[in-house]
C-alpha cells in the first residue's frame, strides 16, 4: 500500500510522520495527500489558516490540483528534501450563512434541495443589486474551481495566479445570463427565493446546508490561502493540455 511505503520511506530519513492528519497537530512542515482533488480539498479545509504546504499525490482519474502522479511520489519527495520546489498560493472563499461559516477552495453552489427544479436566486455585489438568476442553480467559484463544476457548465478557465471570483448560473432560463468575473474585493449577498427549507448550499462538494428563502449567504475572498507544492518541471498549462486533451490530434476518419 502506497501510504505504508511512503511512511517507511520518510521514517528511514528521520522524518516524523503523523497519520491521519488532524487540525490539532501543532506544527506540520508539509501535508501529503493520497487520492484525488476531493482528498486535497478536504485537507485544505483541515489546515486552513495554518500555512501548511500541501503535496497532492493523484490516485484519482483527473486531478487538476493533485500534481504528483503515484509513480513519481518518491522522486517528488526527493525534490522537496533538496528544496527544489515552489509554493503556489491558491485563493479561497469565505462562505457564511445562518447555519455557520465555511471556507471553499473550489466553489459554493446554491440550488434547489430537489434535483431538476429551477430556482430564482437573487444576487447583490458590494451592496448593489446585480440580478435574479432563474436557473438550476448558481456557482460561485475561485480560479482553482474554474476547472471544476463551473467548467462543466460553460464557465471560463481562469489561471490560478489571477485572484478573482467567478459567478456562473447553471442552465439559466435566459440565454443572456452569462458567467461573470469579479475582482477579489467583491462581496456577494445571495438568497434563494424559495419557500420553507427548499434551498441547498454545497461548499466544495463536501458541506451540504439546507436553507430557507429568508436566509442570506455571504461570499467573499478569504484571508486564508491554500498553499500547494509545485515543481519547476510541471506547468499549469501542461496540466490543462493533459487533462483536457488539448494536444490530441483531430480524428478525421469516418
- Active-site positions read 37
Chain centroid to CA 208: how far?
A: 15
Reduced to 3 DSSP states, what percent helix, strand and coil does the chain have, rounded to the nearest 5? 20, 35, 45
Chain centroid to CA 184: how far?
A: 16
Copy the grid coordinates of residue 87. 509554493
Whole-number Å distance between alpha carbons of 151 and 149: 5
Spell 115-138 as b/e; 16+ CB within 10 A means b.
eeebbebbbebeeeebbebebbbb
Helix axes 73-81, 2-12, angle to 10 degrees: 30
Residues 6+ apart with CB under 8 A from 213: 191, 192, 193, 194, 195, 196, 198, 199
Q: What is the number of other CB atoms lying within 10 angstroms of the CB of residue 32?
A: 24
Amino acid at each position: 500500500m502506497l501510504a505504508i511505503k511512503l511512511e517507511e520511506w520518510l521514517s528511514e530519513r528521520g522524518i516524523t510522520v503523523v497519520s491521519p492528519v488532524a487540525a490539532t497537530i501543532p506544527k506540520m512542515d508539509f501535508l501529503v495527500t493520497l487520492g484525488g482533488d476531493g482528498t486535497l480539498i478536504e485537507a485544505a479545509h483541515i489546515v486552513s489558516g495554518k500555512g501548511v504546504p500541501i503535496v497532492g499525490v493523484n490516485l484519482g482519474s483527473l486531478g487538476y490540483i493533485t500534481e504528483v502522479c503515484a509513480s513519481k511520489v518518491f522522486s517528488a519527495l526527493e525534490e522537496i528534501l533538496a528544496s527544489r520546489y515552489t509554493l503556489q498560493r491558491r485563493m479561497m472563499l469565505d462562505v457564511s450563512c445562518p447555519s455557520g461559516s465555511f471556507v471553499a477552495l473550489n466553489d459554493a453552489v446554491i440550488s434547489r434541495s430537489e434535483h431538476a427544479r429551477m430556482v430564482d436566486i437573487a444576487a447583490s455585489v458590494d451592496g448593489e443589486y446585480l440580478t435574479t438568476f432563474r436557473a438550476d442553480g448558481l456557482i460561485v467559484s475561485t480560479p482553482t474551481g474554474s476547472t471544476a463544476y463551473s467548467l462543466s457548465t460553460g464557465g471560463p478557465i481562469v489561471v490560478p495566479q489571477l485572484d478573482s471570483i467567478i459567478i456562473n448560473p447553471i442552465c439559466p432560463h435566459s440565454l443572456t445570463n452569462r458567467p461573470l468575473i469579479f475582482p477579489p474585493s467583491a462581496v456577494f449577498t445571495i438568497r434563494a427565493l424559495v419557500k420553507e427549507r427548499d434551498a441547498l448550499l454545497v461548499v466544495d462538494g463536501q458541506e451540504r446546508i439546507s436553507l430557507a428563502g429568508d436566509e442570506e449567504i455571504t461570499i467573499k475572498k478569504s484571508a486564508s490561502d491554500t498553499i500547494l507544492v509545485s515543481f519547476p518541471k510541471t506547468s499549469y498549462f501542461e496540466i490543462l493540455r493533459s487533462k483536457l486533451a488539448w494536444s490530441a490530434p483531430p480524428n478525421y476518419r469516418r
